[in-house]
Chain A
Amino acid sequence: MTLHLAVALDGAGWHPAAWRAEGARPDRLFTLAYWADLAAEAERGLLDFVTFEDALGLQSTRLNEPDERLDQVRGRLDAVLIASAVAPLTSRIGLVPTTGTTHTEPFHVAIGIASLDHISGGRAGWRPQVSGRPDHAAHFGRRVLPPLDFSDRADPAFTRHVADLLGEAADAVEVVRRLWDSWEDDAEIRDVATGRFVDRDKLHYIDFRGAWFSVKGPSITPRPPQGQPLVTSLAHDRQPYEFAARASDVVYVTPRDREDASAIVEQVRAAEAATGRAGPPLKIFADLVVFLETGGAADRKARLDDLDGGEFASDAHIFTGTPEALARLLLSWREAGLDGFRLRPGELPRDLVAITRGLVPELRAAGAFRTAYDTGDLRGRLGLPRPANRYATAS
């Protein structure tokens, strides 16, 4: 059975000094050609999908405020728009942009991702992300958020704050999902005899009322081709696992090793049970940062660490080594119950090319990766059915 493989695209790669590496294209980061080339390379490798990071503030090494650093990549284009611009230049790869749930209107997200799904012919996904940063909140001036302090996760105030952010995010996803269903698939009828373009009995008010906002509906955009584009989220802890169990189709997790992977899979399944998840179980992808090379990957990372003035740390496991070794690691971790992996290339395009031209052939040789794209949309590629419309009455 094929392993699922995604790549997380961000800036010049996940190492903060990646933009200074040989072969990097730091002067091209804000052009369409840069992103189109990366997506095309991922598509050549027959990967499942690529994700695009985003945030409503400048990158920072500090948790709650901007830093003063001029020696790292700063600035990002809107992820939904990058994904959409890449869509007509690719044909099969899934496109999964990030948007915020804390400041962004769920209605705008719903129509943006639905539009991406129409434009890409059923290849859209979405990664909702909370933003707890007080400095980003000040960009909107509508609410004041307390600084986040991860040093005491047991602190009830911290737990409550996270619960609020995630609760609001879960409501945002619920609104988006209802809006996607607010048009039945066959709502457009173009009935000349009665002069009606749509059958309005097949358009539905969602009438969502929650603690943070209310949304009436229906969407202004017809139901996306996939019905429900793929919803994905990153999680490191019980609360976000439960958010994923409530809201997502795919969860990205960050095991340190094979054993940790088993433990996390267990926690995710427990979160599914605790939240009474209905429908298909979460697809669990492990995130890894990768520096791939036949000999010298560790040295390459060390040189980047030197340039950046400190050892690169990540929430995800950092792998340095050969494509063969990575293939072995993935196949081993997979036994823990993982459905796939989202690889974060340390350097772009270098480590992406090493994935598509080094890792993928290794996995294929092991019979663990596809040799051609199947037909069908992104959900179908992940083995997820096209969901029935929650508002359609069985007839």
Chain B
Amino acid sequence: MTKQIHLAAHFPGVNNTTVWSDPASGSQIDFESFRHLARTAERGKFDFFFLAEGLRLREAKGRIHDLDVVGRPESLTVLAALAAVTTHLGLAATVNSTFNEPYEVARRLASLDHLSGGRAAWNVVTSFDAFTGENFRRGGFLDESDRYSRAKEFLETARELWDSWAPDAVAADPEAGRFLRPGGVTAFRHQGRHFDISGLFNVPRGPQGHPVIIQAGDSDEGREFAASSADVIFSRHSRLEEGRAFYRDVKRRLAAYGRRPEDLKILPAVTYVLGDTDAEAAERAAEIRRAQVGPQTAIYFLEAVWGRDLSAYDPDGPLPDIEPDLEEGVTRGHAAFRRDRGEVVAKWRALAEEKNLSIRELAIEVSSPQTFIGTPRAVADEIDHFVQTDAADGFIFVPHLTPGGLDDLVDKVVPLLQEKGVFRTEYTGPTLRDHLGLAPRDPASGDSAPRDLGTRDSALRDLPLRDPAAPVPAPRTKENR
């Protein structure tokens, strides 16, 4: 059977995928940029629009990292405004479960679900670093090994709060003088390792019951969490073979939780470049890569691995001859390089020698190229091939330009997917759950009951790096997705 493709749009983020030096690059903060990108996605009948989050400005060598886009608005506030200027597009916010409390997050997400008529989604992330914690009352209180236990319990608690209002709790019947139906709102009481709370929730159940839950972790524990609790996985496995392996692995985990494969959509984050010919597309792709990895960024990229100040080196010259400092890291505020950096240095040196690469050329070579490069027809075929061969259920497109970065995808590729009959030509329902083909969360189903997930308490390993011999997802500096 032909699978239907799901598409999402990622607002260009605080990382070096986003090219701010291009004359066509607009504001990263003006609402007009968000409106343009969201409306473009809705014109293309996308499933949802996605905002990342980072609660502390990133630092390198003890100072604020200034080479990439810096600064962004608060996700839910922007999405509420976008609810007013779109009609069908899903609205996904990344909200940290470490520096928030369930009562507030649950009510803000339920509020967005009401204001948007059932289009809210929550990308559940955790962070354990004391660095980000310095902006919050409790500081960095969480052990790394507790990240997922906090995230799981946070989500379970939020579900208990949403479920504490029956779908028909609001009677609003002036004749009977009854605003609430008797028994429609029940008191909650949650006693767990991370939260001990009780009382009454104060937002009626949203149109979707629960917002769509997105999860981005890639470790064994993260995959298990997604299999048990998420509706969508924001995956980083955007190459065909690894995509298939990831897809198989995650989908097979669902049965243990009484879920069907179609209950969890796997959407890798991808980039793309179009051209009238393959050669033109390749040329544009190379230009964009050079804009993404400028001279200073190339040095910064190596510094993250070397653990040293390399600013004295010429980005167009050979790799540094000094040895890496394997003790000290120099970057903070984004996922660190946790792999053995000494091993990476050795591989990069060998690669640079073999291909005669400068620092900047090496940085470009080992960081990820765009996922899809080619004519609109070739890209449409490739997207379809990925989905039909179970490397993905669709994609989250990360454009490199604000705000026009999705224009050509929507104008040129989406119509071809529609022609193939693999992508909607009209929205078939009002809610994001409708777009994703997910059942509404029915409180009667009991599927929000806390479960013993029985997962291993292993340390998390959300590596931004892949094997350096293969193309690597780059200084692309992961945000807290």
Minimum C-beta distance from A20 to chain B (A): 4
The answer to whether B180 and A70 touch across the interface, beta carbons within 8 angstroms, is: yes
Q: Give the docked Cα–Cα distance between A138 and B187 (Å).
A: 12
B100 contact set on A, CB distance < 8 A: 105, 108
Q: Give the docked Cα–Cα distance between A183 and B172 (Å).
A: 46
Residue of A nearest to B30 (CB): A118
The answer to whether B20 and A58 touch across the interface, beta carbons within 8 angstroms, is: no
Is A373 part of the contact surface with B, judged by Cβ < 8 Å? no
The answer to whether B71 and A220 touch across the interface, beta carbons within 8 angstroms, is: yes
A 175-218 binary contact with B (CB < 8 Å = 1; else 0): 00000000100001010101111111001000000001111111
Q: Give the docked Cα–Cα distance between A200 and B70 (Å).
A: 10
Is B457 part of the contact surface with A, judged by Cβ < 8 Å? no
B294 contact set on A, CB distance < 8 A: 195
Is B259 part of the contact surface with A, judged by Cβ < 8 Å? no
Minimum C-beta distance from A45 to chain B (A): 21
Interface size of B by Cβ–Cβ distance < 8 Å? 73
Is B185 part of the contact surface with A, judged by Cβ < 8 Å? yes
Q: Give the docked Cα–Cα distance between A351 and B151 (Å).
A: 45
A80 contact set on B, CB distance < 8 A: 77, 80
Q: Give the docked Cα–Cα distance between A353 and B308 (Å).
A: 66
The answer to whether B84 and A32 touch across the interface, beta carbons within 8 angstroms, is: yes
B 54-81 binary contact with A (CB < 8 Å = 1; else 0): 1111000001101111111110111011
Is B454 part of the contact surface with A, judged by Cβ < 8 Å? no
Q: Give the docked Cα–Cα distance between A212 and B132 (Å).
A: 18
B177 contact set on A, CB distance < 8 A: 20, 71, 307
Q: A70-B181, A81-B108 are in contact. Are A212 and B137 (CB under 8 A)?
A: yes
Is A55 part of the contact surface with B, judged by Cβ < 8 Å? yes
Minimum C-beta distance from A310 to chain B (A): 14
Q: Give the docked Cα–Cα distance between A56 and B203 (Å).
A: 10
The answer to whether B21 and A192 touch across the interface, beta carbons within 8 angstroms, is: yes
A85 contact set on B, CB distance < 8 A: 80-81, 83-84, 115
The answer to whether A88 and B31 touch across the interface, beta carbons within 8 angstroms, is: yes
Q: Give the docked Cα–Cα distance between A111 and B103 (Å).
A: 19
Residue of B nearest to A192 (CB): B21
Is B85 part of the contact surface with A, judged by Cβ < 8 Å? yes
Q: Give the docked Cα–Cα distance between A198 and B14 (Å).
A: 12
B215 contact set on A, CB distance < 8 A: none
Query: Which among B21, B101, B177, B199 has the greatest number of chain A C-beta atoms within 10 A?
Result: B199
Q: A26-B179, A55-B202 are in contact. Are A84 and B81 (CB under 8 A)?
A: yes
The answer to whether B179 and A70 touch across the interface, beta carbons within 8 angstroms, is: yes
Is B99 part of the contact surface with A, judged by Cβ < 8 Å? yes
Query: Which among B31, B55, B73, B204 has the greatest number of chain A C-beta atoms within 10 A?
Result: B73
A112 contact set on B, CB distance < 8 A: 74, 76-77
The answer to whether A76 and B202 touch across the interface, beta carbons within 8 angstroms, is: yes
Minimum C-beta distance from B332 to chain A (A): 12
The answer to whether B74 and A19 touch across the interface, beta carbons within 8 angstroms, is: no
The answer to whether B134 and A215 touch across the interface, beta carbons within 8 angstroms, is: yes
The answer to whether B31 and A119 touch across the interface, beta carbons within 8 angstroms, is: yes
Minimum C-beta distance from A236 to chain B (A): 24
Is A316 part of the contact surface with B, judged by Cβ < 8 Å? no
The answer to whether A115 and B179 touch across the interface, beta carbons within 8 angstroms, is: no
Is A277 part of the contact surface with B, judged by Cβ < 8 Å? no
Q: Give the docked Cα–Cα distance between A59 and B69 (Å).
A: 42
Residue of A57, A78, A198 touching B111 (CB-CB under 8 A) = A78
Which positions 311-369 of chain B face chain A at CB distance < 8 Å? none
Residue of A nearest to B297 (CB): A195
Minimum C-beta distance from B63 to chain A (A): 6
The answer to whether A220 and B66 touch across the interface, beta carbons within 8 angstroms, is: no
The answer to whether A81 and B84 touch across the interface, beta carbons within 8 angstroms, is: no
A 53-94 binary contact with B (CB < 8 Å = 1; else 0): 001111100000010001111111110111011111100000
Residue of A31, A104, A107, A141 touching B195 (CB-CB under 8 A) = A141
Minimum C-beta distance from A92 to chain B (A): 16
The answer to whether B84 and A86 touch across the interface, beta carbons within 8 angstroms, is: yes
A190 contact set on B, CB distance < 8 A: 20-21
Is A222 part of the contact surface with B, judged by Cβ < 8 Å? yes
Is A136 part of the contact surface with B, judged by Cβ < 8 Å? yes
Q: Give the docked Cα–Cα distance between A197 and B117 (Å).
A: 37
Minimum C-beta distance from A143 to chain B (A): 11
Residue of B136, B170, B199, B204 touching A138 (CB-CB under 8 A) = B199
The answer to whether A76 and B203 touch across the interface, beta carbons within 8 angstroms, is: yes
Q: Give the docked Cα–Cα distance between A250 and B17 (Å).
A: 43
A213 contact set on B, CB distance < 8 A: 136-137
The answer to whether B31 and A222 touch across the interface, beta carbons within 8 angstroms, is: no
Is B197 part of the contact surface with A, judged by Cβ < 8 Å? yes
Residue of B nearest to A136 (CB): B199
Is B29 part of the contact surface with A, judged by Cβ < 8 Å? yes
Is A103 part of the contact surface with B, judged by Cβ < 8 Å? yes
Is A389 part of the contact surface with B, judged by Cβ < 8 Å? no
Q: Give the docked Cα–Cα distance between A86 and B181 (Å).
A: 29
Q: Give the docked Cα–Cα distance between A171 and B371 (Å).
A: 48
Is A27 part of the contact surface with B, judged by Cβ < 8 Å? yes
The answer to whether A203 and B104 touch across the interface, beta carbons within 8 angstroms, is: no
The answer to whether A119 and B81 touch across the interface, beta carbons within 8 angstroms, is: yes
Residue of B99, B139, B170, B196 touching A30 (CB-CB under 8 A) = B170
Q: Give the docked Cα–Cα distance between A108 and B75 (Å).
A: 10
Residue of A20, A103, A104, A114 touching B73 (CB-CB under 8 A) = A114
Q: Give the docked Cα–Cα distance between A218 and B107 (Å).
A: 27
Q: Give the docked Cα–Cα distance between A183 and B57 (Å).
A: 12
A107 contact set on B, CB distance < 8 A: 55, 99, 135-136
Q: A30-B204, A81-B76, A197-B68 are in contact. Are A135 and B199 (CB under 8 A)?
A: yes
Residue of B73, B139, B197, B295 touching A139 (CB-CB under 8 A) = B197
The answer to whether A138 and B198 touch across the interface, beta carbons within 8 angstroms, is: yes
B446 contact set on A, CB distance < 8 A: none
Is B258 part of the contact surface with A, judged by Cβ < 8 Å? no
Is B174 part of the contact surface with A, judged by Cβ < 8 Å? yes
Q: Give the docked Cα–Cα distance between A220 and B69 (Å).
A: 11
The answer to whether A78 and B107 touch across the interface, beta carbons within 8 angstroms, is: yes
Is B455 part of the contact surface with A, judged by Cβ < 8 Å? no
The answer to whether A27 and B172 touch across the interface, beta carbons within 8 angstroms, is: yes
The 9 closest A-B pairs by CB, nearest first: A195-B296, A115-B73, A216-B134, A26-B172, A78-B111, A81-B80, A115-B77, A20-B174, A77-B111
Sample of 28 A–B contacts (CB below 8 Å): A27-B170, A29-B172, A56-B202, A57-B199, A58-B200, A66-B199, A70-B178, A75-B203, A75-B204, A76-B203, A77-B203, A78-B112, A78-B203, A80-B77, A81-B115, A105-B99, A105-B137, A111-B74, A119-B77, A135-B199, A135-B200, A136-B199, A196-B66, A197-B68, A198-B70, A216-B56, A220-B71, A307-B177
Task: Mark A residues whose CB is within 8 Å of B.
Answer: 19-21, 24, 26-27, 29-32, 36, 55-59, 66, 70-78, 80-82, 84-89, 103-105, 107-108, 111-112, 114-116, 118-119, 135-136, 138-142, 183, 188, 190, 192, 194-200, 203, 212-218, 220-222, 307
12 A-B pairs besides A36-B84, A200-B64 with CB distance below 8 A are: A76-B203, A77-B114, A78-B203, A84-B81, A108-B99, A111-B74, A115-B78, A140-B103, A141-B195, A141-B198, A214-B134, A216-B56
Task: Mark B residues whose CB is within 8 Å of A.
Answer: 20-21, 29-31, 35, 54-57, 63-64, 66-74, 76-78, 80-81, 83-85, 99-101, 103-104, 107-108, 110-112, 114-117, 134-137, 139, 165, 170, 172, 174, 177-182, 185, 195-204, 294-297
